A and B are shown apart, each in its own frame.
Chain A
Amino acid sequence: NAGVTQTPKFQVLKTGQSMTLQCAQDMNHNSMYWYRQDPGMGLRLIYYSASEGTTDKGEVPNGYNVSRLNKREFSLRLESAAPSQTSVYFCASSDSLDYNEQFFGPGTRLTVL
């Protein structure tokens, strides 16, 4: 039981490049989330998926897109990376019936030059 896994762990992009961050969970959770973490800002919700087949914007969605590929996988795409997207990205999942306790992946550290 791996919990929540994320790939890659580290990535360096040039401005304008695109990439997809992958996330998978093996806990049969309905809800999945993408956060970014910046110094002094805590965790900010980018996008979420309440259940398979649905996605919606969070607090800071601009510049990102997501895909809920199936119940296990939830990917985050940067179409044209900008230096302001340099951050640490966390994926999380929860069983919405379980009081919304969230389980986090190890994170992806992204630098955009």
Chain B
Amino acid sequence: AQSVTQPDIHITVSEGASLELRCNYSYGATPYLFWYVQSPGQGLQLLLKYFSGDTLVQGIKGFEAEFKRSQSSFNLRKPSVHWSDAAEYFCAVGPIPLNSNSGYALNFGKGTSLLVTP
């Protein structure tokens, strides 16, 4: 089955420290992988995406992620966290075929909540 696991429900880091959020996926072929961020009371914003090519992808707000096929992982990293990075982060995998209507969806992980301390 195509799925995403985010092993850490909550993570706390100090401002200025480095960050790594874990994402493991299960997918039969080469996946499309995404990281979204959700600030409190807001919708989801795309941070970065991987479709093919270079396995290290750069995103917005100084984030990067590395696709490791051998480990079925797509971990999100940032060298120095800012207080404004406190949010919930979702990893997603696709495309997931939907029934018989030729549509596709994404499967989302359950999210990792990031707390940044002074």
Whether B98 contacts A50 by the Cβ 8 Å rule is yes
Contacting residues, chain B, for A31 (C-beta < 8 A): 103-104
Tell me if B's interface is mostly helix, strand, loop or mixed.
strand
Asked whether A105 lies within 8 Å of B43 as measured between CB atoms, the reply is yes
Give the residues in chain B near A90, CB-CB below 8 Å: 43-44
Chain A interface bracket (under 10, 10 to 19, 20 to 34, 35 or more) = 20 to 34
Interface size class of B (residues with CB under 8 A): 20 to 34
Q: Which residue on A lies nearest to B103, using beta carbons? A: A50
Q: Is B22 engaged at the interface, CB distance under 8 Å to the other chain? A: no
In the assembled complex, A70 has its CB within 8 A of some CB on chain B: no
Known A99-B51, A100-B95, A101-B34: A51·B43 in contact at CB below 8 Å: no
Take A31-B104, A99-B51, A102-B106 as given contacts and tell me if A56 and B90 are in contact as well, using a CB distance cutoff of 8 Å.
no
B70 interface hit (Cβ, 8 Å): no
Indicate if the CB atoms of B108 and A100 lie closer than 8 Å. no
Q: Mark A76-111, 1 if CB is under 8 A from B, else 0.
A: 000000000000001010101001111111110000
A54: interface (CB < 8 Å): yes
Cβ–Cβ contact B104 & A96, under 8 A: yes
The one of A4, A41, A43, A100 that contacts B94, using a Cβ cutoff of 8 Å: A100
A99 near B95: Cβ-Cβ < 8 Å: yes
| Residues 4-29 (chain B) with a chain A CB within 8 angstroms | 9
Q: Which residues of A contact B90 (CB under 8 A)?
A: 42-43
Chain A, range 1-56, C-beta contacts under 8 Å to B: 4, 31, 33, 40-43, 45, 48-51, 54, 56
- Known contacts A42-B110, A56-B99, A90-B43; can you find 12 more A-B pairs with CB under 8 A? A33-B105, A42-B111, A43-B108, A49-B103, A50-B98, A50-B101, A56-B103, A90-B44, A96-B102, A96-B104, A99-B95, A104-B45
Interface positions of A (Cβ within 8 A of B): 4, 31, 33, 40-43, 45, 48-51, 54, 56-58, 90, 92, 94, 96, 99-107
